[in-house]
Copies of this chain bind each other. A is one copy, B any other.
Amino acid sequence: MKTVLAIVDGLGGRPTDYNGKTCLEAAKTPNIDELAKRGSTGLLDPIKPGVKPESDTAHLSIFGYDLDKWYTGRGVFEALGIGMKVKRGDVCFRTNFATVDENLNVQDRRAGRIQEGQKGLEGALQDLKSSQPDVKVIFKASVEHRGALILRGPGLSGQITDIDPHETGVKVGKAEPLADEESAKETAKIVNEIVQQSHEILSGLSLNIDRRKEGKLPANILLFRGASEKIGIPSVRERYGVNGVVIAAGALYIGVGRALGLEFKQAEGVTGRADSPIIDKAKLAVKELRDDDTGFAFIHMKGADSCGHDQDAEAKIAYIEKADEVVGYLLDNLDWNQTRIAFTGDHTTPIAVGDHTSDPVPIVFAGQDITPDEVGEFNEKTVRKGSVGRISGQVVPILLGCSDKI
């Protein structure tokens, strides 16, 4: 059996989205509705009812991993997602290039969404050093202001607070230990030193002096958040007995996939933005599944969430219609007598809120061995009458339920 997990990030909405309809209701989605006709539908609480999911926690839970046991923070996924090698015991952070004034007050958390020069900044930051000689500092820049940093060495802990204050106009924070342990205290101390060093190194760079001259915000500090330790999460292969690929554009989703042992496959030209040619993800998934009898493909489509954050209903509707084409391509090009799919979102991002909420999202399971219910249209309202009922996470285990591995 072959399986597909297709996630539209932030798929869910509310009736206030667009003229009394959710974006999903307003969008024309003949292919997703066809899935609903063939399949079994319901509501998914990505984590559990009343819990607002972040993208990483939502995905882990959808994959059937207990968050209390396996979630240590966002940093590991970010580092894996941008292609860093992460070892057991490493403490990883998501970083931002940011702009601070002379008093270390944050002027911009994204250094004016810096578009170029990341390699130069990365090169300069290779001089970052821990005062603790056993601890190595490894930094990699990604796109725009984004990057990840790894501390590698003995006696480290992910149990520390963010130094990123998550707002502007306030001073850069100090990392504080979250546990009364030497390792957490030591790690917080190292992080505070490195942040200070990053400011000293970056402030003097000619790139930043030039940016100031051009009226741009300098990238003169590195903000840290999402400290997390690499622990031994069992892979999808170990848990469920299938080989899998992750087809995504956002680093976080690629990282979650890699953390679970999925192989990242790059669809040509995709960007992770609303204008991404996501149909190419469907084509790549079909290609990857063609030659593997037990293949599993995780397709992640980011744009709907971004449109939700931007509170742009029309853009979100248009993106959902593109996701419908992805489903159409899968319907046309996979053998549904030996394929199963789950199509859903990782959370709701209502237009009026512009952020994630804890509302459940519609879900459909279709394909081999799945008995259709009477729901023939796919949206937040119709699936409430579906036969899946209301489930919490566990989408991948349910999808793979006929394998003898789980």
Contacts and interface: CB of A to CB of B under 8 A. Distances in A.
Given A353-B402, A401-B359, A394 B50 contact: yes
A397 B16 contact: no
A322 interface: no
Contacts of A399: 50
A197 interface: no
B371 A50 contact: no
Interface stretch (A199-207, A305-313, A381-389): A381-389
Interface string A14-54: 11100000000000000000000000001100001111100
Contacts of A406: 50-52, 358
A396 interface: yes
Nearest to A360: B389
A355 interface: yes
A64 interface: yes
A391 B394 contact: no
A380 interface: yes
Copies of this chain in the oligomer: 2
A49 to B, nearest CB: 5
A401 to B, nearest CB: 4
Contact of A390 (B50, B373, B384, B391): B391
A404 interface: yes
Contacts of A16: 369
Nearest to A354: B404
Interface of A: 14-16, 42-43, 48-52, 64, 353, 355, 357-359, 369, 371, 373, 380-381, 384, 387-392, 394-402, 404, 406
21 contacts: A15-B369, A15-B371, A16-B369, A42-B389, A43-B387, A48-B392, A48-B394, A49-B391, A49-B394, A49-B398, A50-B64, A50-B396, A50-B397, A50-B406, A51-B397, A358-B397, A358-B398, A359-B401, A371-B381, A373-B384, A388-B390
